[in-house]
Amino acid sequence: MTRRGGHLDLVHELLDHELVDVNGTPCGVIDDIELTGGIGERLRVTALLVGPGASGPRLPRLVGWAVARLFSTRRVRVPWDQIDTISERIVLKTTGASLGLGKLDRKVGRWLARLPGSDKAH
């Protein structure tokens, strides 16, 4: 993993930053951060969490509840060792699809594929 500077500010440098895969395709925004470690133990970042299931609980309770009902509670866990670079964007070492990111985008994409001209950048 490469990044600027010495220490990492989780809230300012990770949370709410865009996640892109190895090809530069956006794969979501870092909605939450998974930390592991008990009391007295070393606290470690083990994964970044993406999806409404991770961002919903950050909203005021009633709004969060509505979002969960209206959309989904799906969240994708991106293991920390899959992160390549941290700058304005968080860059993955691999493709988003291999980590289960952007599933809905591909589903809607297959549906759009039936329309003429959907495979060309216009």
Partner 1 sequence: MKKVLEIFLGILTAMGGFVEVGELTFALNAGSRFGYDLLWIVALGTLGIIVFCEMAGRVAAARGQPVFNLIRERVGFSGGLITLIGANAVCVMTCAAEIGGIALLWQLLSGWPYRPLLLLALVFFLVVVWFFKFNWIERVFGLLGLLMVVFCVAVYMMEPDWNEFAKGFIPGLPVVESSREILVYAFFAVSLLSSIMLPYETYFYASGGIEDHWKPQDVNLNRVIVLIGFPLGGVLAVSLIVIGAEFLGPRDIEAHLPGTAAMAASSQLGKVGLIVALLGMFFAFAGAAIETAMSAAYNLSQFLGWPWGKFRPPQQASRFTLSWVVVFVLATLVVLTGIDPIKVVEYAIVFSVVVLPLTYFPMLMVAQDRNVMGEYANGPLASVLGWFYFIVITLAAIAALPLMIATHGGQG
**Which parts of this chain interact with partner 1 (CB under 8 A)?**
15-19, 25-29, 31, 50, 55, 58-60, 88, 102, 104-106, 108-113, 115, 117-122
Q: Minimum distance from CB of 12 to partner 1 (Å)? A: 9
Q: Which is nearer to partner 1, 38 or 117 (CB)?
A: 117
Q: Minimum distance from CB of 80 to partner 1 (Å)? A: 18
Closest to 83 in 3D by CA, of 36, 28, 19:
19
Q: Which is nearer to partner 1, 23 or 36 (CB)?
A: 23
Q: Minimum distance from CB of 40 to partner 1 (Å)? A: 31
Q: Minimum distance from CB of 14 to partner 1 (Å)? A: 10
